[in-house]
Amino acid sequence: MSLMLILILTVVCVITYAFEITFGLAGTIMMLAAMSYFIDAKMLVIYSILPQILVATIGLSRSPKTVRVDVLAGMVGVAAVGSLVGFYVFNQIPTEPFRMLLAIVITLFGVYLVISPGKLKLNGVFARILDFIAGISQALFGISGPIAMTRLMATHTDKSIIRNYALAFFLSLNVFRGVGYAINGSITEPLIEMMLISAPILFISLWYSNHFHFKVRDTHFKKVVAWIILFGGMSLFFTQPN
């Protein structure tokens, strides 16, 4: 891959992941939309562990300590069980009915959050159900952001708490994903070269982009996230299983 293409990818990631470090999600979706015509989508998905891990580590390290380890462990643990169920479902039964049901549910959540921001409230049981569904969806379709953010928007009110739990949740998933890629040999020499060139630029840009989160008003943050959840639900109508 040419140095120019790697630099273009890096610039795109500077922009898209500045959005993610501000709002807690959607950087990878936007990066794939912009670059998958020029670079193999599978390679981009593997490459994305670099900016996603940088976003989470920088965002969490440069924010007030709002993430409780026990709460995060509960979210990740339940999602992990959901992922195991998702892998079983993927191999045993048709996933189309689940995809359609999930798309409908997330879209309805998104519509409600857009129309009535701050009004959706979920208790512990329903929050755990969404954690579980997020794991299933991640295993089947590679999508968990809209579900996880719906859960966080319905259980927390402060924008920084919502974002930081999202970053910590996705960081956990991406660390496991990165280990899996390393074990099965998916991280090839061209990918390592891409990451080594991009890493210093992304680190510096994300380090300074993190302050955008604190400039965004709480109401604007929730409106943007609500619309992302809505579009995430709608996109599932057109998403095929992995």
Range 85-99 burial, b when 16+ CB lie within 10 A, else e:
bbeebbeeeebeebb
In the prediction, which pLDDT does 8 show? 92
Each residue's pLDDT expressed in tens, for the chain with a length of 242 residues = 788 898 999 999 999 899 888 887 778 777 877 887 888 877 887 888 899 889 889 988 887 788 888 888 888 888 888 877 776 766 666 666 766 776 787 787 778 777 776 666 777 788 888 888 888 777 666 667 777 888 888 888 788 888 888 888 888 877 877 787 788 787 888 889 889 999 999 999 999 988 888 888 877 887 887 787 777 777 767 755 54
What's the pLDDT at 107? 80
For residue 200, what pLDDT is reported? 94
Rounded to a whole number, what is the largest CA-CA distance in the chain?
A: 51
The pLDDT assigned to 149 comes to: 80
One-letter amino acid at 54 equals L
pTM of the model: 0.74
